[in-house]
């Protein structure tokens, strides 16, 4: 009689695993049968993390990916812990644990990278409706508190002691120079990034005279500005 498949099996033979198993369909390193077109959560998380690291501005918060990854991580950790005493499958368990740790790393790095961008450009994001819609509610609150915190620090140590017209955090000088705040740091959207085109995009205008054809599979180093709107929809990938 065939032994029932242990939940620790990585599904190497393509065995049909019960749904509550070690999630072979999501994390199995041996899951060769899944094919390249099925983007599982781990890959989505990884791509979101890569995009966030390479893009100069903050991208849309991928709430669904983050939530799903978090629940999946919790589930996997519990299963690994439950099978602690199962020495027969200790190796598989360790490998699974390693995979969970790596995915945890990419999640953490994703959130940390976003926080660092928020800290760097907090005021700019806050003032711009479109950009602040890309933050999660928790990030929004973090941004608000960060601005307050920073403002208080600068006020206390320097700005309070400056003469009246020069004591603003946003304007260099309110009386003399500009009406528009000129002291807010903004991300440089003209930075060049490496992209790989996943969907055929046709011609893109790069300056007054030239256009470039972006066909599927091409790899370019191009100004971020020009491919900005394609990054979020996944039609290009930052590499």
Interface with another protein by CB under 8 A: which residues?
53, 70, 77, 80-81, 84, 94, 97-98, 101-102, 104-105, 107-109, 111-113, 115-116, 119-120, 138-139, 141-142, 145-146, 149-150, 152-154, 156-158, 161-163, 166, 172-173, 176, 183
CB of 66 to another protein, least distance (A): 8
Report how many helices (DSSP H) and strands (DSSP E) the chain contains, helices first.
8, 5
Please state the separation of Cα 144 from the chain's center in Å: 20
Single out the residue of 187, 48, 53, 56 nearest to residue 128, CA to CA: 187
CB of 115 to another protein, least distance (A): 5
CB of 220 to another protein, least distance (A): 25
Residue 146 or 220: which CB sits closer to another protein?
A: 146
Residue 17 or 93: which CB sits closer to another protein?
A: 93
Copy the structure tokens of residue 165. 């017209």
> Which residues are paired to 203 by β-bridges?
213
Residue 102 or 213: which CB sits closer to another protein?
A: 102
Residue 19 or 163: which CB sits closer to another protein?
A: 163
Task: Write out the E strands in the chain.
Answer: 192-197, 202-205, 211-214, 219-223, 236-238
CB of 232 to another protein, least distance (A): 21
Return d(Cα 30, Cα 53) in angstroms, integer: 28
């Amino acid at each position: 009689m065939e032994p029932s498949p242990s939940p620790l099996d990585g599904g190497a033979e393509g065995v049909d695993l019960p749904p509550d198993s070690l999630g072979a369909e999501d994390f199995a390193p041996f899951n060769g049968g899944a094919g390249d077109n099925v983007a599982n959560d781990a890959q989505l998380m990884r791509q979101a993390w890569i995009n966030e690291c390479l893009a100069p501005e903050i991208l849309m918060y991928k709430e669904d990916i983050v939530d799903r990854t978090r629940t999946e991580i919790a589930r996997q950790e519990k299963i690994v812990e439950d099978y602690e005493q199962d020495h027969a499958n200790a190796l598989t368990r360790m490998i699974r644990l390693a995979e969970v740790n790596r995915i945890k790393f990419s999640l953490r790095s994703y959130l940390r990278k976003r926080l660092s961008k928020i800290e760097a450009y907090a005021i700019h994001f806050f003032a711009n409706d479109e950009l602040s819609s890309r933050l999660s509610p928790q990030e929004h609150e973090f941004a608000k508190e960060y601005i307050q915190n920073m403002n208080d620090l600068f006020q206390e140590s320097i700005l309070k002691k400056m003469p009246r017209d020069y004591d603003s955090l946003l304007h260099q000088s309110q009386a003399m120079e500009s009406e528009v705040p000129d002291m807010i740091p903004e991300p440089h959207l003209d930075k060049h990034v490496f992209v790989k085109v996943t969907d055929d995009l046709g011609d893109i205008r790069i300056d007054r005279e030239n256009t470039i054809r972006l066909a599927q599979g091409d790899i370019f180093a191009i100004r971020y500005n020009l491919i900005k709107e394609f990054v979020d929809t996944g039609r290009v990938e930052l590499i």
